[in-house]
Structure 1
Amino acid sequence: MNNSDGNSGSSSQSTANNRSRVITKASSPILDQTQNVKLTASLETTIQEIQSIMKDDSDFIQRRFQVFGEYNAAIFYYSSMIDQAMINSSIMKPLMHVPGMPGEKRIEQNELHDVLMNQIIYHSEVKAESNLSAIVEGLLRGHTAVIIDGLDQAFLISTSNIDKRAVDQPATEQVIRGPREGFIELLDKNISLIRYRLQTPELRIQTMEVGRRSRSRVAICYMDGITNAELVNEVKHRISKIDIDAVLDSGYLEQFIEDNHYTPFPQVQYTERPDKVVANLLEGRVAILVNGSPLALIVPTVFSQFYQTAEDYTERFVMMSAIRLARLVALVFSLVFPSLYVSIISFNPELIPTEFAVAVAGGRAGVPFPAVIEVLIIEISMEVLREATIRLPRQIGGALSIVGVLVIGQAAVSAGFASPITVVIIALTTIGSFATPAYNAALSLRLLRFPLIIFAGIFGLYGVVIGLILIANHLLSLKSFGVPYLTPWVPGDIQGMKDLLVRGPLWRMGNRPSFLYPEDSQRVSPDTVTGMNEPPYNVLDPEEITKEKGSE
């Protein structure tokens, strides 16, 4: 017994050491070479070193000038990434001012650094840097470097001004009632959209750099005092282990940090809605944003999140509970309906009414394929049509979808390649898959339809049941950052059941999800619940007003 406890303690200690270990990753070869190179007081030497790194970049600007008409200097920046007006007015104009007015004294060499830093450069974000690699990194991020002969430090000034698209309504998560703002590609703007909705000092945003050459900024967002500290540390640890050339989108990170890499089901939720990110942060989850990506990642994730929408919480709970149930039925419908049709038509036609069976048999009289082959052909054709509609320009894509559904479908029935009932079944299945709000979850269900259809074509209803058991067993084995994927179904959670099949009243969901183990579990004050239970005071009731006037 003691040995077991000792082994357990050493194992946990080893895990802690692995989590705290500093992971060294490769960087850009050029930055590696300049990592320990310090600037000298020679302006010419520094210019040569920077030119040897930037070489023939057409948008890299170097200009020589004199500070106060006395000290030789040079300014460096990328013209495609900076605000030219800011450089002219806040940097060049005060630096090139020549003292000549009465009372202006000459600035000595030993005073130059302090005077420039504290009195001359009209900018709030300026720092002195002596490391060559840090200067190069700053230039690549849109900063401007000013180097003066005789000083062994450069001035790095933030002048970045990159064109970006305006904040607009999310294209993939549209709602009728709710905010109309969506994330854009600029990380700082996305962070501001979150801070706009969470104006509290408990919001914590920590940034990291991922990618040897892209040097992509990654922001980890969580609520201090709500989010479990171990969850935050695990997210940081998984991201810190990533060593790749470039991270061009948040989808790159998703594939590295998920628990199971060989499952069709998504274990990380993504969204482009700031209000949805804020709602999940307040529940105790962690959000991950990547510079250059309009999609934020949310962890941990459970399966029930993929058929819920932000609109579920902005409307009354009775109406949205009915809509959520309809959405869940459409989700199950899109998964099993084609396989049920194949199994019943091929093996158990006695399960359907006689009149309907005669109508189905009459429709399939001229079809030369078995039901399983027929359904597979139509399903594959529908997937090809759907993919073509997405990739084509919007004006052509709409026309193609109409032509594909009406003309090709009718032609297939007329030519005898498919029966009318099969076309109806596949059309209803496709519409059901569109009702799933999350595209990645809908895609996994679309892919799982094919093995279910094959099982149904070989074993009938037994094959459908076997396929569903395998899918359920796989779902039970999945976890997202340690949280079972089917929570709060399995393991059961009474509090979580209030927001599962139906959406309970907001004042009844007083605690945060317990499976996230938040540090502060209370979400709704008990006083609010007490106030909701009090009978309403009918201030404008005509009878009450008449009585009051009569008593007067």
Structure 2
Amino acid sequence: MNFWKSKWKGNKRNKEPSSSMLDTSQETRLTTSLDENVQTVKKVFKNDADFSTRSFHLFNNIPATSLFISSLVDKEKINRDIIQPLQEKRSSNNEESANSTKKDLLQSLLNDYLYFADGEKKQDLSSLLDGLLHGKTVILLDGESQYLLLDTLKTEKRSIEQPETERVVRGPRDGFIEQMESNISLLRYRLPVPEFRVEPFEVGEKTKTKVSVCYLDNVVSDALLEEVIKRIQDISIDRILDAGYIEQFIQDNPRSPFPQVQNTERPDKAVGNILEGRVIILVDGSPFALIVPAVFNQFYQTSEDYAGRTIIMSIIRVIRFLSLIFSLTFSSLYITIVSFHPEMIPAQFVVAASSGRAGVPFPVVVEVLLMEVAMEILREATIRMPQQVGGALSIVGVLVIGEAAVSAGFVSPITVVIIALSTIGSFATPSYNAAIAFRLLKFPLIILSGFIGLLGLAVGLMFIINHMISLRSFGVPYLSPVSPWNKQGFKDSLIRAPLRWLTERPAELQPKDKVRVESGVESGPTNPFKRKGENDE
């Protein structure tokens, strides 16, 4: 825990004083009376059943009391590493040395007796209360106005498993968990370099949640790093319970439907973005890491893209991008063609399209809107239901309800097919928050197409594209490297060029070290089976 106390500088903003006990006791110092100090702390935790005290005699001589919150500490560690060494009677040979260290008894205990306990000396009451609430044990001695604050935190954590939301066929199987220390270790395991920095902060007036900013000191832009830290320090809220709270405060345009901060549960993806010159934000208690800045092409890419062959991965990326556009425009295009431009329907499908809509009482735009809303309700219900029931619910919704709606004449069979294909297209997007944005944007496109036709669809798409062009993420254009155009960056956007061609880091990030692959490697590996004197074809 020394990592946090040595780094944290506090929020730089001037804030109104709080009426909490921690703030009112900030300048309060303890006295030399052990009983008086214990009673002062008990008044604060008088109604807390898990607040515990234990009295003992230091070396069978000096009265002492340990204070801790039993639900946060490791009791076995307290008994083995703290109470037992302090209760052992010192030999007579050490009596004289005890008197010589009487003036600094607490420091002597830390240096010579508490071998396995990480701690420090404190004197103010606010640090004592804050330490207890963070799983530390306090040792009070009679005749001492200072005390020992020892780290005994015990946290329950789940094992490191493959992320549920970002599964891959080929790639690492470990994912972030809720404990920040474990997440940092996963990053350091993949980045064993001294330039890797982890800068901690505390955010939240009440929760005091630990937040870490991770970056490569010799790669990241100083301007980007300063902006990220400034936005985190400017956050003023009483609670931070998940990384999503941080995301909403640091994004450039909170009214935009498009995500400007990427999140991931995969350490390999986080490390890959750090090496490109981006900044990773970890929040204690959240298994998601935030990646800033984020551009649009990151949301249809996966870490698996870099582990496979170039041609295959490039084709898959194009398929993902087309699926994203497909899910946004397919329903609107269907309405436009059926309602305003039936001449665009091929001759062999005219009879099937017209006969399928025979007897449907609703206009096509109402029909599509009803099916899209029903699909969104079904999708949300499937997510919120227990896992054992969710699969059955989706099958019932797709097969039974869809078939019954067609048989009852409420919707046409071709409309069910169009909605199903549009929904499947949204499932191909790796990023959940980007898929949600496109799922919601298709509703205004459907309305515009139903009233104006192809012109409405074109106007709606122009508004969306214009908004994306004007969008920024920490000063980086959202559609980089397409707008503004960058040839080197395009090699890793819609397609994925061979790794030896990706010689430079993204130019829009303005990294200190732009070179990622030495130019000598660009020609590719040599052929060890080539005959002597044979030329390459």
Using the size of structure 2 for normalisation, the TM-score is 0.95
Instruction: Give the one of 199, 208, 223 matched to 1:206.
Output: 199
Are the aligned partners of 1:346 and 1:371 in contact in 2 as well (CA < 8 Å)? yes
Provide the rounded CA distance (Å) in 2 between the counterparts of 1:353 and 1:322: 29
Are the aligned partners of 2:55 and 2:66 in contact in 1 as well (CA < 8 Å)? yes
Tell me by how many angstroms 1:86 deviates: 1.1
State the Cα deviation string for residues 371-419 of structure 1 (Å, max 9, x = none).
Answer: 0000000000000000000000000000000000000000000000110
Provide the rounded CA distance (Å) in 2 between the counterparts of 1:111 and 1:194: 40
Q: Which residue of 2 aligns with 1:482?
A: 475
In structure 2, the CA distance between the partners of 1:404 and 1:28, relative to structure 1 (3 Å rule), is farther
Q: Which residue of 1 aligns with 2:220?
A: 227
Q: Which residue of 1 aligns with 2:63?
A: 72
SS in 2 for 1:208: strand
SS in 1 for 2:176: coil
For 1:228-267, list aligned pairs within 5 A.
Answer: 228-267=221-260
Tell me by how many angstroms 1:455 deviates: 0.4
State the Cα deviation string for residues 18-76 of structure 1 (Å, max 9, x = none).
Answer: xxx93123557111101111122211221122111122111111111110111111101
Q: Which residue of 2 aligns with 1:10?
A: none
Q: Which moved more, 1:244-253 or 1:150-159?
A: 150-159
Tell me by how many angstroms 1:283 deviates: 0.3
Provide the rounded CA distance (Å) in 2 between the counterparts of 1:85 and 1:22: 39
Aligned sequence identity (%): 51
Please tell me whether residue 31 in structure 1 is matched to residue 27 in structure 2: no
Please tell me whether residue 140 in structure 1 is matched to residue 133 in structure 2: yes
Are the aligned partners of 1:123 and 1:157 in contact in 2 as well (CA < 8 Å)? no
State the Cα deviation string for residues 254-311 of structure 1 (Å, max 9, x = none).
Answer: 0011000111000000001111100000000001011000001000010000000110
Tell me by how many angstroms 1:175 deviates: 0.2
Tell me by how many angstroms 1:354 deviates: 1.9
Tell me by how many angstroms 1:120 deviates: 1.0
For 1:142-157, list aligned pairs within 5 A.
Answer: 142-157=135-150
Are the aligned partners of 2:82 and 2:117 in contact in 1 as well (CA < 8 Å)? no
Q: Which residue of 2 aligns with 1:513?
A: 506
Q: Which residue of 2 aligns with 1:322?
A: 315
Q: Which residue of 2 aligns with 1:447?
A: 440
Q: Which residue of 1 aligns with 2:356?
A: 363
* Structure 2 letter corresponding to 1:207: P
Q: Which residue of 2 aligns with 1:62?
A: 53
Provide the rounded CA distance (Å) in 1 between the counterparts of 2:312 and 2:125: 61
Are the aligned partners of 2:106 and 2:147 in contact in 1 as well (CA < 8 Å)? no
Provide the rounded CA distance (Å) in 2 between the counterparts of 1:511 and 1:25: 43
State the Cα deviation string for residues 178-237 of structure 1 (Å, max 9, x = none).
Answer: 010110001111111111110000001100000011000000011101000111111111
Please tell me whether residue 522 in structure 1 is matched to residue 505 in structure 2: no
* Structure 1 letter corresponding to 2:513: D
SS in 2 for 1:293: coil
Provide the rounded CA distance (Å) in 2 between the counterparts of 1:392 and 1:161: 33
Tell me by how many angstroms 1:124 deviates: 4.8
Q: Which residue of 2 aligns with 1:83?
A: 74
For 1:161-310, list aligned pairs within 5 A.
Answer: 161-310=154-303
Q: Which moved more, 1:438-447 or 1:62-71?
A: 62-71
Instruction: Give the one of 495, 499, 503 matched to 2:492.
Output: 499
SS in 1 for 2:305: helix
SS in 1 for 2:287: coil
* Structure 2 letter corresponding to 1:325: V
Are the aligned partners of 1:258 and 1:480 in contact in 2 as well (CA < 8 Å)? yes
Tell me by how many angstroms 1:102 deviates: 5.5
Q: Which moved more, 1:404-413 or 1:104-113?
A: 104-113
Provide the rounded CA distance (Å) in 2 between the counterparts of 1:114 and 1:293: 37
Provide the rounded CA distance (Å) in 2 between the counterparts of 1:39 and 1:280: 48
Provide the rounded CA distance (Å) in 2 between the counterparts of 1:142 and 1:323: 48
* Structure 2 letter corresponding to 1:46: N
* Structure 1 letter corresponding to 2:415: T
Tell me by how many angstroms 1:501 deviates: 1.3
Tell me by how many angstroms 1:114 deviates: 3.2
Q: Which moved more, 1:23-32 or 1:340-349?
A: 23-32
Instruction: Give the one of 422, 429, 435 matched to 1:436.
Output: 429
Provide the rounded CA distance (Å) in 2 between the counterparts of 1:428 and 1:370: 20
Provide the rounded CA distance (Å) in 1 between the counterparts of 2:302 and 2:106: 55
Please tell me whether residue 403 in structure 1 is matched to residue 396 in structure 2: yes
Please tell me whether residue 105 in structure 1 is matched to residue 95 in structure 2: yes
Provide the rounded CA distance (Å) in 2 between the counterparts of 1:40 and 1:24: 31
Provide the rounded CA distance (Å) in 1 between the counterparts of 2:363 and 2:117: 74
Tell me by how many angstroms 1:111 deviates: 4.8
Tell me by how many angstroms 1:104 deviates: 4.0
Q: How many aligned residue pairs are there?
A: 520
Q: Which moved more, 1:502-511 or 1:109-118?
A: 109-118
* Structure 2 letter corresponding to 1:113: L
Are the aligned partners of 1:28 and 1:212 in contact in 2 as well (CA < 8 Å)? no
Please tell me whether residue 22 in structure 1 is matched to residue 22 in structure 2: no
SS in 1 for 2:323: helix
Q: Which residue of 1 aligns with 2:5?
A: none
> What RMSD in Å do the two structures reach over aligned CA positions?
1.6
Instruction: Give the one of 334, 345, 349 matched to 1:352.
Output: 345
Are the aligned partners of 1:228 and 1:284 in contact in 2 as well (CA < 8 Å)? yes
Q: Which residue of 2 aligns with 1:11?
A: none
Provide the rounded CA distance (Å) in 2 between the counterparts of 1:28 and 1:237: 26
Structure 2 residue ranges without an equivalent (≥5):
1-10
Provide the rounded CA distance (Å) in 2 between the counterparts of 1:380 and 1:245: 36
Q: Which residue of 2 aligns with 1:414?
A: 407
Instruction: Give the one of 338, 341, 362 matched to 2:334.
Output: 341
Provide the rounded CA distance (Å) in 2 between the counterparts of 1:167 and 1:190: 10
Tell me by how many angstroms 1:529 deviates: 2.2
SS in 1 for 2:212: strand
Provide the rounded CA distance (Å) in 2 between the counterparts of 1:370 and 1:427: 19
Are the aligned partners of 1:28 and 1:213 in contact in 2 as well (CA < 8 Å)? no
Provide the rounded CA distance (Å) in 2 between the counterparts of 1:346 and 1:243: 51
Structure 1 residue ranges without an equivalent (≥5):
1-20, 545-552
Using the size of structure 1 for normalisation, the TM-score is 0.92
